[in-house]
């Protein structure tokens, strides 16, 4: 959870001076610096984006080819400890979730950085190469993209990415996005049997990192060879949670968690006036704070975000795209769909056109039209499928049959 935080010009400059530790990363044509007063604030970010890191003291030439952003992460200790993330005086956020502050910081930096990438269309999904053709798996969180892509990697498909499907604007190819893959022990053993894990060489073990109950896997371990490469985009598969989801005109909804510090009655009244919004959970967490969980339809996301913003400092909220997890015992189902429908659905998963929900402005309609036209031109030759996952092994069989085995 996080909320907007106001900085005076003096505070802004003073806080910047405290951030003496710097990490630099490159995401396609966007270069970012993350500055902090405590190196441990960036442990999680440095872990997840190991292969995007750059030496801050090198590659200073040709600065004009980059879009550059500098983020600042400041934290302190004590009973009133807080973490601040800001990249301008007007864009400052106080992280309220202290236990998961590093993950929240990573989410905000990740989303705001992707919004600046201009060389690629970036979609929420996983990607792999099969028969020399790139396949993108697009779907909301929980739809089964990671599990399915790991199973396909186990079967010999070349793994490109887990979180982002990067489609080159100029070459029509899927490009690797080597963010580390987070999974559980059971998921890892699904793709690498326990006997193989026990007999791993020291060279292979360096591609695995355990942090508590989570395991982070280097994409190189999944790509079946030392290195990753791009490949021609061939197919896009949309993972759906049910047949009803395929037929729904309100696809791409989100789950919104809201913490209200006061004005709860007024907030509930305003929220209930917006169509296709469902209150899933309400909990009184303290004398002054009420926690809500809303299900918000795709077409109401902007209206609901503006409602949250209208309550200013009285509210903290965060948004998750979610889907019902696949039924492990169910039979999968796959259907080929037309290009017009497929291209329209692709827009719903685009990450670098729609402004992230914690920005205070709507996307420029001209940008949306320009990028829509760009997707139509770049992806016009793709094949499209809708897939309802079930048992992961049978789902992989079905998908490979649809794509055509060697």
DSSP string, 92-137: EEEE--STTHHHHHHHHHHHHHHTT--SEEEEEEEEEEETTEEEEE
Mean pLDDT for all residues in the chain: 78
CATH 1.10.357.10 assigned to 245-321: no
d(CA 164, CA 175): 10
Mean pLDDT lowest for which of 44-48, 69-73, 367-371? 367-371
pLDDT at 129: 92
pLDDT at 91: 82
The 10s digit of each residue's pLDDT in 239-276 is: 986 544 433 434 456 667 677 766 677 888 888 777 76
With vertex at residue 309, the alpha carbon angle to CA 304 and CA 313, rounded to the nearest 5 degrees, is 140
Mean pLDDT lowest for which of 80-84, 176-180, 256-260? 256-260
pLDDT at 358: 41
Mean pLDDT lowest for which of 115-129, 146-160, 211-225? 211-225
For residue 68, pLDDT beyond 80: yes
pLDDT at 18: 93
pLDDT at 125: 92
Average pLDDT over residues 103-108: 87
Average pLDDT over residues 156-165: 89
The encoded tokens of residue 285 equal 């967490």
d(CA 41, CA 102): 6
d(CA 82, CA 100): 12
DSSP 52: G
d(CA 145, CA 387): 11
pLDDT at 341: 86
pLDDT at 371: 67
For residue 30, pLDDT beyond 90: yes
Burial 144-156 (b: 16+ CB within 10 A, else e): bbbbbbbbbbbbe
For residue 59, pLDDT beyond 70: no
pLDDT at 312: 67
Average pLDDT over residues 5-26: 91
Residue with the larger pLDDT of the pair 269 and 315: 269
pLDDT at 5: 79
Average pLDDT over residues 311-316: 67
> Residue 150 to residues 221, 335, 352: CA-CA distances in angstroms?
11, 22, 25
pLDDT at 298: 64
What percent of the chain has a predicted confidence (pLDDT) above 90? 24
Q: Within a 10 A sphere around the Cβ of 233, how many other Cβ atoms?
A: 25
pLDDT at 37: 93
Report CA torsion sign: 239, 212, 193, 50. positive
In the chain, CATH 3.30.70.1710 covers 245-321
The 10s digit of each residue's pLDDT in 179-200 is: 988 777 777 776 676 777 778 7
- Residue 306's pLDDT band, with cuts at 50, 70 and 90, is confident
Average pLDDT over residues 49-68: 73
Q: Within a 10 A sphere around the Cβ of 377, how many other Cβ atoms?
A: 10
Average pLDDT over residues 124-133: 91
Closest Cα to residue 181, out of 225, 155, 151, 140? Answer: 151
pLDDT at 265: 76
For residue 360, pLDDT beyond 60: no
Closest Cα to residue 234, out of 389, 341, 342? Answer: 342
pLDDT at 237: 96
To the question of pTM greater than 0.85 for the whole model, the response is no
Average pLDDT over residues 315-334: 64
d(CA 215, CA 185): 7
pLDDT at 336: 93
Angle between helices 392-403 and 145-154 (to 10 degrees): 70
For residue 325, pLDDT beyond 80: no
């Amino acid at each position: 959870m996080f909320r907007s935080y106001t900085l005076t010009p003096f505070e802004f400059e003073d806080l910047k001076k405290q951030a003496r530790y710097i990490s630099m990363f490159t995401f396609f044509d966007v270069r970012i610096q993350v500055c902090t007063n405590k190196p441990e604030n960036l442990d999680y970010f440095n872990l997840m984006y190991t292969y995007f890191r750059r030496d801050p003291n090198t590659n200073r030439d040709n600065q004009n080819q980059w879009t550059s952003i500098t983020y600042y992460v400041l934290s302190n200790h004590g009973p009133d400890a807080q973490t601040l993330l800001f990249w301008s005086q007007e864009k400052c956020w106080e992280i309220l979730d202290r236990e998961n502050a590093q993950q929240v910081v990573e989410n905000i930096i990740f989303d705001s950085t992707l919004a600046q990438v201009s060389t690629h269309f970036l979609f929420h999904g996983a990607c792999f190469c099969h028969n020399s053709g790139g396949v993108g798996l697009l779907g909301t969180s929980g739809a089964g993209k990671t599990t399915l892509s790991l199973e396909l990697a186990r079967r010999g498909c070349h793994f490109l990415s887990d979180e982002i499907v990067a489609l080159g604007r100029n070459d029509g190819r899927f490009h690797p996005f080597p963010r580390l893959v987070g999974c559980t022990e059971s998921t890892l053993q699904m793709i690498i049997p326990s006997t193989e894990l026990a007999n791993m060489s020291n060279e292979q073990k360096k591609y695995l990192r355990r942090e508590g109950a989570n395991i982070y896997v280097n994409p190189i371990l999944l790509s079946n060879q030392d290195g990753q490469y791009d490949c021609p985009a061939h197919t896009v598969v949309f993972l759906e949670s049910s047949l009803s989801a395929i037929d729904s005109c309100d696809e791409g909804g989100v789950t919104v968690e809201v913490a209200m510090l006061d004005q709860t009655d007024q907030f509930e009244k305003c929220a209930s006036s917006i169509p296709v919004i469902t209150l899933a959970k309400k909990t009184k967490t303290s004398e002054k704070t009420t926690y809500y969980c809303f299900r918000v339809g795709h077409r109401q996301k902007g209206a609901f975000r503006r409602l949250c913003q209208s309550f200013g400092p009285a509210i903290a909220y965060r948004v998750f795209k979610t889907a019902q997890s696949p039924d492990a015992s169910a039979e999968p189902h796959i259907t080929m769909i037309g290009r017009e429908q497929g291209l329209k659905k692709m827009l719903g998963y685009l990450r670098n056109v729609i402004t992230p929900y914690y920005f205070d402005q709507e996307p420029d309609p001209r940008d949306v039209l320009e990028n829509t036209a760009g997707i139509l031109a770049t992806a016009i030759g793709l094949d499209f499928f809708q897939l309802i996952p079930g048992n992961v092994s049978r789902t992989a069989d079905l998908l490979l049959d649809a794509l055509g085995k060697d």
